[in-house]
Amino acid sequence: MSNHSAPFHAVPGISQATRRSILLLSFGTFASMAAQRICDAMLPELSRVFAVSLAQAAQVVSVFAIAYGAAQLVYGPLGDRLGKFRVVTFATLGCSIGSIVAVFAGSLEVLVFARLLMALGAAALIPLAMAWVGDAVPADQLQEMLTRTGLGSTLGIVGGQLVGGLLTDALGWRWAFVFMTVLFGVVGTLMYLDLRRQRALPAKVLPQGQPAVRHGFVRQAVLIVTGSWSRIILGLALVEGAAGFGVLAIWASHLHRSLGLSLSLSGAIVALFGLGGMLYMAIGRHLIRRFGQQGLVLIGGGLVGVCALVLAYTPHWGPAIPASLLAGFGFFMFHNTMQANATQMAPHARGTAVSLFSSFLFLGQSIGVVLAASLIGRIGTPAVVALGGVVMAVLGLVFAWALRNRPR
């Protein structure tokens, strides 16, 4: 990990102010992803506490994803008009409200409502952070910098799943939301201080980006989706969300039910998925130069497919450890390439474009969670996990073909 020890100081041509802001945005993406994954390992406990089925308990994941995706329709153009960092700052602070409601939820319905509030705030963090970096960083350094700023997101996967399982086992599920309340409050405050510092700096040291576009959201969206390449990226994002992030939500439940592992151990094993993403980012710059985008998506999709099959059908928990780790490594090879292409769909309205990408991604996640939960009773968790992996492998082939034949 030593190659990643100072990610914000190793790239020439990026000012100290920009590096500092990117670091804070990474804290924000950590909080957003942790909020998304905090409930994964606690689904069996929520099912027991509220006396509902696992599919009903999974609403705390699916409703979050639906609201997250829908909110992109607001945050994209809002970020383009009012300033991406400013919108991210106040959205982060707003996430604390939903977290507090979750702490005191007395029914599944109230908890689902709290998750809805959290999603409405967290929706701004990752897409507008990506768009802000797209404005601030030269195109030839963009994918490499996205591997570094993505550190927050992958740590959020690790932190969300691990903290969710550990706190649920040790203290109860409510304490996981106490953790989220404090996290959003602290990160939001740091962002607010940096926002004030940014405003005090001379304009020339801040990223200028592309000129703000004053079209309404509908017109901007139409301009984006009418491009053939944009339609391909958005379609791939929908499937990636369903087969990747969506099915990932039941991995911990699968290990708990199929192998009899505790929620803590199940969450810890699945959290290695995020650690695999961190390993990719540590050497990402070398892999990008060695394999190119086509190679990354082919290898990444194939790794996810093979590892998902191992995790689905292993009779012992031991092989699940390297399978989860390598699956994360492969998934982020694929996903990082998707992100780089998404930020370049419409540089004139980058906030709206990246928000559309995230909207499709998390709409896919919500579809994947619902489908996975409904299929569990029919074909079992092993087959659902395996199916998600196979779809990701096929998606890698499709994306590689699209990259090879994309319009120039």
Beta-carbon contacts of 378 under 8 Å, excluding residues fewer than 6 positions away, are none
State whether residue 150 is helix, strand or coil: coil
Number of C-beta neighbours around residue 315 at 10 A:
8
DSSP 97-140: HHHHHHHT--SHHHHHHHHHHHHHHHTTHHHHHHHHHHHHS-HH
- Kindly tell me if the per-residue pLDDT of 211 is higher than 70: no
Are the C-beta atoms of 283 and 3 separated by less than 8 Å? yes
Q: What radius of gyration do the chain's Cα atoms show? A: 20
Distances (CA, A) of 102 to 55, 62, 65, 314: 19, 16, 16, 35
CA distance 346 to 58: 35
CA distance 260 to 336: 34
Of residues 270, 243, 242, the one with CA closest to residue 256: 270
Residue of 347 and 207 predicted with greater confidence: 347
The pLDDT of residue 202 is 59
Residue written as tokens 């304009």? 203
Of residues 124, 122, 117, the one with CA closest to residue 103: 117
Domains and CATH numbers, the chain: 17-203+215-404 (1.20.1250.20)
375 HSE (CA, 13 A, CB side) = 19
> DSSP assignment, residue 227?
S
CA distance 281 to 149: 9
Are the C-beta atoms of 209 and 354 separated by less than 8 Å? no
Count, residues in the chain: 408
The pLDDT of residue 2 is 39
- Kindly tell me if the per-residue pLDDT of 3 is higher than 50: no
- Kindly tell me if the per-residue pLDDT of 301 is higher than 80: yes
| pLDDT tens column, 132-156 | 888 777 776 777 778 777 778 778 8
The pLDDT of residue 17 is 76
User: How would residue 205 be classed by pLDDT, with cut points 50, 70 and 90?
Assistant: very low
Q: Compute the mean pLDDT over every residue in the chain, rounded to the nearest whole number.
A: 82
Indicate whether this model's pTM tops 0.85.
no
DSSP 254-274: HHHHHH---HHHHHHHHHHHH
The pLDDT of residue 407 is 67
Distances (CA, A) of 136 to 44, 232, 268, 288, 314: 43, 25, 35, 20, 45
CA distance 277 to 206: 30
- Kindly tell me if the per-residue pLDDT of 76 is higher than 90: no
* Separation of CA 187 from chain center: 17
The pLDDT of residue 296 is 93
State whether residue 319 is helix, strand or coil: coil
CA distance 288 to 337: 9
**Amino acid identity for residue 51 in this structure:** A
CA distance 312 to 339: 28
| pLDDT tens column, 326-340 | 999 999 899 989 988
User: How would residue 9 be classed by pLDDT, with cut points 50, 70 and 90?
Assistant: very low
Distances (CA, A) of 95 to 92, 114, 115, 176: 5, 10, 10, 14
Element (H, E) at 147: helix 139-149
Residue written as tokens 């780790």? 325
The dihedral through the CA atoms of 282, 288, 291, 296 has a sign that is: positive
